[in-house]
Structure 1
Amino acid sequence: MKSNEISSGNLTGPGVYLGMFSLTRVIGNVVIVLLAITICFFNASMVHTFNKHQIFRFNPRYILFIHLVLNDMIQLTASISLYIFAHTFYTIYVSLCALILLPAVLTTNNTPLNLACMAAECYISVCIPLRYENICTVKKTYIVIAIMWLISLLTVLPDVFTLLIAEDLHFLKSRLFCERDTVFRSSYGKYKRDASHIFFLVVVFVTLFYTYFRVLLVAKAANSEAKKARNTILLHGFQTLLCMMVYVQPLLKQLVIYLFPEQRQHIQNTTFVLIQVVPRFLSPVIYGLRDKVFRMYLRKCFICVQVKAVRIKP
């Protein structure tokens, strides 16, 4: 039996076996899709809360947070789409595959950069609060987000140009198993991808380490807000570590499958959940539910929905 992998940063996700689906496999696939839909629904409620209240729309911290939430929704939607295509059709057209891969790769690259920016914002608010309003403005925040997308785009555009120029029309119209290495086949692209992964890894973790230890020094003799910022940055690091696992996912998966070959399907589903789904679940928990103000408005949003639902009942 043959197996393959899909991915979303590399983008590598669950594999597919040719043959009859077992009941366990079907249940596992349904659980993964339902989990992703639940996370997207909860994230959508946070976006609605953000748009509904002016207190959030003009606060750099919440702008960065909601951008991370939107980014996670796009990334998770693209990953689940690849997952469904892989388990339903097995092969899809190259052009369609590329269209799904592009947002998946872009948002995967955006996530660690966004976390680094949020850590920097925490550092500024705690360590240099007098300059916070001058440094962290709404306009500058949106400029930072634009730069973030530009950096991610620059890592992907060479692959797109190579695909359009180097590959013939027959390949673009062909069907294949959708993963990054089968669509963007240039060896140069693989070296560039590895270099960009190392760049993101180094920049983000240097930022997180610096901001964490600076905030840690302030938190020892400061109020609970500084200690909360320290804990938030620590959670940034944990989430970034999970997001970075996508870069080593193929090697990690091969190693675990080599050790436990009889659990191949469970390993592939588990790695997909841990690397693609769980980090998207952490964002609303770390930055939404832990924030008292946002939690209060989010609760009001759900209460309003429940009240409207009761009124609609005949």
Structure 2
Amino acid sequence: MSSSLFNITIEQQYQGLLERIVLSFLSTGPACFFLIINGILMFSLRSKPVFRYTCRYILLYNLLVADTAQLVVTQVLFLLAVGRVRITYAVCGTITTMANLTAGISPLILVIMSLERYVAVCYPLRHASIITIKNTVLAIIAAWAVSSLNNVTRNLFLIEYSYEKFGKVLMEDYCTDVGWIPNSLCDDYDRAYNAVVFVSAGLTVISSYTGVVIAAKSASTDKASALKARKTLLLHLVQLVLSLSYTFYYPLLLALATTVRRIVFVWVQDVIYVLFIVLPRCLTSLIYGLRDQTIRPVLLRHLFCRSKLSVEPVTS
């Protein structure tokens, strides 16, 4: 009897270990693949002066940095959860704060990129004087400052808790943003902040698109440039929705945790993670790397180690 019970226990432990290994592989495989693509694209954007000194590519580089950092941090959190690794509140807080910081950058950078396209089409003669490297850097700094201020505000909800707990005590469960700040007021704040960002960013992109459409009807506007800008702005809108999709990740998990069995939940969690976290962080490299005529030859050369290709200067 005891021998049979022992065998069943060992089998259950083996199945649990095998399940965690499979889940880790299914999430880590796509994440690593796209991290490589993102890394090659970032290297490509630093390999030519045309990329280093063109404002739209400076913005794209920063967007890729934020998305790549976000993917790395969330992958670490996911592997900790799958491996059922418990860490201290302080370590968890550091990781989740970095995840929130990088996640908040993407929609703000997309807004700046949309405004840059709007100025390029609607005010082509003033584009060079408005969209300068200095102004672009200031806009990027402002985006990081807004996201940092948001995280500082979120962490103020920890004032009511004992500081000794966060440095030494292990978390009761695996590290999540919800577990790090167990405060309902913080949840309300997050929903309000995300709603403001989404609405503001969405209105900015839609307004830019409308302005480009109106400008395209003008006889003095370059029709090809206006059409390209319209497509780019539509892609920015799609990217904006995808970049904010992470806000649905934990609410979906909480809803599923109470309605499905654990064995189903862990597999659905992996699918949701890939769809809402991994995929949105990777579409930027795919969209720009393959669509942009200036980036594509350089990216393909670095991907496939081809012979050196020339790159033509970019035009607005």
TM-score (norm 1): 0.83
Quote the residue 2:295 is aligned against: 294
* Correspondence 1:155-304 to 2 at 5 A: 155-163=150-158, 166-176=161-171, 177-219=174-216, 222-253=222-253, 263-303=264-304
What's the CA shift string for 1:235-270, capped at 9, x where partnerless? 111121122222233444555677876743332111
Q: 184-193 or 97-106, which moves further after superposition?
A: 184-193
1:256/1:236 CA distance change after superposition, 3 Å = farther
Amino acid corresponding to residue 175 of structure 2 in structure 1? C
CA contact under 8 A between 2:249 and 2:273: conserved in structure 1?
no
Quote the residue 2:88 is aligned against: 93
| 1:192 Cα deviation after fit | 2.3
Query: Structure 1: 5+ residue runs without aligned partners?
Result: 1-17, 309-314
What's the CA shift string for 1:179-237, capped at 9, x where partnerless? 11221234443332222111111111111111112223334675223212111111111
What's the CA shift string for 1:102-151, capped at 9, x where partnerless? 11001111111111111111111111111111110111111101000110
| 1:33 Cα deviation after fit | 0.4
CA contact under 8 A between 2:118 and 2:211: conserved in structure 1?
yes
3-state SS, counterpart of residue 244 of structure 2: helix
1:208/1:260 CA distance change after superposition, 3 Å = farther
d(CA) in 2 for partners of 1:122, 1:86: 41
Quote the residue 1:81 is aligned against: 76
CA contact under 8 A between 1:76 and 1:276: conserved in structure 2?
yes
**Equivalent residues, number:** 290
Q: 2:109 aligns with which of 110, 114, 120?
A: 114
Query: Structure 2: 5+ residue runs without aligned partners?
Result: 1-12, 309-316
CA contact under 8 A between 1:125 and 1:132: conserved in structure 2?
yes
Larger Cα-atom Rg: 2
| 1:157 Cα deviation after fit | 0.8
CA contact under 8 A between 1:219 and 1:230: conserved in structure 2?
no
| 1:161 Cα deviation after fit | 4.5
Q: 267-276 or 223-232, which moves further after superposition?
A: 223-232
CA contact under 8 A between 1:64 and 1:118: conserved in structure 2?
yes
Q: 253-262 or 34-43, which moves further after superposition?
A: 253-262
1:19/1:157 CA distance change after superposition, 3 Å = farther
* Correspondence 1:129-148 to 2 at 5 A: 129-148=124-143
d(CA) in 2 for partners of 1:296, 1:217: 33
Amino acid corresponding to residue 281 of structure 2 in structure 1? R
d(CA) in 2 for partners of 1:20, 1:93: 27
d(CA) in 1 for partners of 2:58, 2:287: 15
| 1:284 Cα deviation after fit | 0.8
Quote the residue 2:44 is aligned against: 49
d(CA) in 2 for partners of 1:20, 1:40: 30
1:209/1:118 CA distance change after superposition, 3 Å = same
| 1:175 Cα deviation after fit | 1.3
RMSD over aligned Cα atoms:
2.5
Q: 1:21 aligns with which of 10, 16, 22?
A: 16
Identity in percent? 28
Amino acid corresponding to residue 40 of structure 1 in structure 2? L
1:157/1:255 CA distance change after superposition, 3 Å = closer
Amino acid corresponding to residue 128 of structure 2 in structure 1? E
CA contact under 8 A between 1:257 and 1:263: conserved in structure 2?
no
d(CA) in 1 for partners of 2:129, 2:271: 45
Quote the residue 1:6 is aligned against: none
CA contact under 8 A between 2:301 and 2:307: conserved in structure 1?
no
